[in-house]
Amino acid sequence: MPDVQPKRCSWVQADHELMREYHDREWGVPAHDDRTHFEFLILESAQAGLSWSIVLAKREGYRRAFSQFDPAKVARYSLARIDKLTGDPGIIRNRTKIAAAVRNARAFLTVQEEFGSFDAYCWRFVNGRPRQNRWSSMRQIPATTTESDAFSLDLKHRGFTFVGSTVIYGHMQAVGMVNDHLIGCFRYRDVRRLGTSRRKSVDHVRGAKERES
């Protein structure tokens, strides 16, 4: 009996295991861990001009090369370390992108210091809850939004590079700040439910604090 695959977003190649697993388990799930945010900032920036499948294939290489995506460690990388990484076949050997990851790590730490966490900072751009879209085809999904424009511009002002609005919208999709699963995709309802439950939890905590005050 043939293996019957669930209906997925049309950008997913069903025979591409890494792509399929990423879509089914991670894409669009609301993330609130700073290392996850830092990881996707590096990976989305690395993707610029390339396909996501290439980046996914090198994800483990990036994890090893960038200290398990620990921004505090990456922020201390020297020019010699950057030069060494340009010869690492496990990642995309683009010196400009590698240097940008190190610079972004330093800016990331500054954001953490100011806001307590990068997560607290970035979710402000969607008022603390995922945007729940209802797309029926890939053609409807935008490359940028007013939120990604604002997020991108603010990051640039804070010293980040390789964070254009298109890159940042990809980041927002990846960490669940927007739900861009097509409505016909089997993950749409699950991801929507995760975003809704998070919002209820936030509202509950906020309400409790207001009652205490």
Is-catalytic flag, 39? no
Beta-bridge mates of residue 178 = 131
Q: How far apart are CA 172 and CA 61, in angstroms?
A: 23
Is residue 141 within 8 Å of residue 135, measured between CB atoms?
yes
Is-catalytic flag, 22? yes
Q: Which of 11, 17, 21, 22 is catalytic?
A: 22
Q: Which of 27, 44, 123, 188 is catalytic?
A: 44
Q: How far apart are CA 178 and CA 210, in angstroms?
A: 28
Q: How far apart are CA 67 and CA 144, in angstroms?
A: 30
**Which residues, other chains included, contact 62 with Cβ-Cβ below 8 Å and sequence gap of 6+?**
39, 42, 43, 46, 55, 69, 90, 91
The SS3 of residue 51 is coil
Is-catalytic flag, 44? yes
**Tokens 């409505």 correspond to what residue?**
183
**Which residues are part of the catalytic machinery?**
22, 44, 52
